[in-house]
Structure 1
């Protein structure tokens, strides 16, 4: 809702201010379809040239995040800490019993208690793969830690592609607006023998191209790219929490210490209080 309200505010303030200053929408509306075809069509074409089909689909899917916000909420961070607590504790008590859960998480009653986490294949795979590596008795826990760090970096870079693609489009839009404006000037020069009122409309139409390119770049596409970047960075904290807890477990810290490390790693506005987490863990133990 905030994103939609922002878009409405942009249009109302820009065009409302233009009308209040005595501007007329007729010349803009008359020229808009042609300018939008040239500028928007060229921007979309450049976007398709610079990205693969999978990357295009990924970007289009991610645009919805601008309005939905981050995937992971405060309750999800609390549930993740509870899930990791149960898995780490079970691994310490009975490594054989843990294998049943990490080899078939879709059939696990522990994982099944957290459907939103199970729905994220990468989160589940990261947890299971790391716990499986721990069960292999790695001599150097730093090996697993390095693998986790590399995996997270690769996943983060992949998630940021949508933001980079949109930012590249935003960077190109002002230049494409100038291209459209130059074409408008060429058209105007072909009618140089017309009266001033006709030339004025032609020049005004040409300038709509420059306006449209800058407006779309800094009013729509650029903010979308910035918002996507912020959302992806925030969602990345969810996987960082997994890393911190499992790395602490690798170094044989007590289970409660491992979970507290994860709680402290959680972003402030998503972090469950110590007492709230204790209550959640007690509820899971009772269940």
Structure 2
């Protein structure tokens, strides 16, 4: 919602100010299609040239996150903490053998199946199962496990954040591409140097539209969109950090309830369930689970 308001504010303030200052839109309107073709086309081409097909497709797929925001909501964090509570409690009360059936075939597990939204995230499931599997293989040093999990998280976050970096690179390039379009406009103007001053003024004004559009698009739209995407990826990353926090707390010998409470404190504030909300969610888990 705020992103849509931001777009409207940028347009109204920039072009409204131009109009109130006595500016005329005729030159901008005539020049904009050709300048946008040069600047936008070059930016898209450079984007395709500088990124892998996977990054390009992920950028297109994640574009909606700019407005929709992170995919994980308050209920998802409650579900994650409940899932980790069940797994750590099973490991502590029933032992490693009882846990193995769940982590080796999570899609057939009665514990994992309770949380279908989390099941759709392959990294989250693999991250949980791989870590618990290390624990079942007697890797019980909390510091070693935490270090191994940290490396996995860094790798995943780096790969997940590539669209934000790609868009920021495009934003950085747009002002220079605007200058390229402006230079071409000046070249065109110099080819008509014998024209009357009024005609030359129109051509120079049209050339400067290229510089304006390059800077306007870079700092008014593409740059802020890249920042927004980075913010979304950083918040989504916290979902996996909570997994790390809970499992490491479990390795330190804490009870399942304490471990998930440690995890709860790391949930982003706007999505963080209260202590009582988490208590209620845990108490509603059927005894047979």
Give TM class, smaller chain: over 0.9
Shift of 1:47: 1.0
Q: Does 1:166 align with 2:167?
A: yes
Alignment of 1:1-16 (within 5 A): 1-16=1-16
In structure 2, the residue matched to 1:225 is 226
**Distance of 1:100 and 1:10 partners within structure 2:** 55
**1:153 — aligned with what?**
154
Q: Does 1:62 align with 2:62?
A: yes
Matched, 1:273 2:270: no
Name stretches of at least 5 consecutive residues in structure 1 with no aligned partner. none
Farther off after superposition, 9-18 or 174-183: 9-18
TM-score (norm 1): 0.96
CA deviation string 1:257-287 (max 9, x = no partner): 1111111222222221111111110011357
Aligned pairs for 1:75-224 (under 5 A) are 75-94=75-94, 95-138=96-139, 140-224=141-225
What is the aligned-residue RMSD (CA, Å)?
A: 1.3
CA distance in 2, matches of 1:276, 1:178: 56
TM-score for both structures, normalised by structure 2:
0.95
For the residues of structure 1 that align with 2:263 and 2:140, how far apart are their CA atoms?
24
How far the C-alpha of 1:226 sits from its partner, in A, is 0.5
152-161 vs 259-268, which moves further: 259-268
Question: Number of residues paired by the alignment?
Answer: 287
Shift in Å, 1:234? 0.9
Distance 1:231 1:83 in 2: 24
Per the TM alignment, residue 157 of structure 1 is displaced from its structure 2 partner at its CA by: 0.9
What's the counterpart of residue 26 of structure 1? 26
Deviations 1:222-241 (A, max 9, x none): 00011011111111111110
Q: How far apart, in 2, do the equivalents of 1:267 and 1:186 lie? A: 53
CA distance in structure 2 between the aligned counterparts of 1:99 and 1:173, rounded to whole angstroms:
53
Helix, strand or coil: the match of 1:109?
A: coil
Rounded to whole Å, the distance in 1 between the matches of 2:108 and 2:21 is: 65
Distance in 2 (CA, whole Å) between partners of 1:272 and 1:285 is 20
In the TM superposition, residue 104 of structure 1 has moved relative to its aligned partner by 1.4
Give CA deviations for 1:157-212 in whole Å, capped at 9, x if unaligned. 11221111111110111111111111111111111111111111101100000000
Query: How far is 1:139 from its partner?
Result: 5.2
C-alpha separation in 2, matches of 1:186 and 1:211: 17
* Whole-angstrom distance in 1 between the partners of 2:140 and 2:112: 28
Q: Is the 8 A contact 2:141 2:251 kept in 1?
A: no
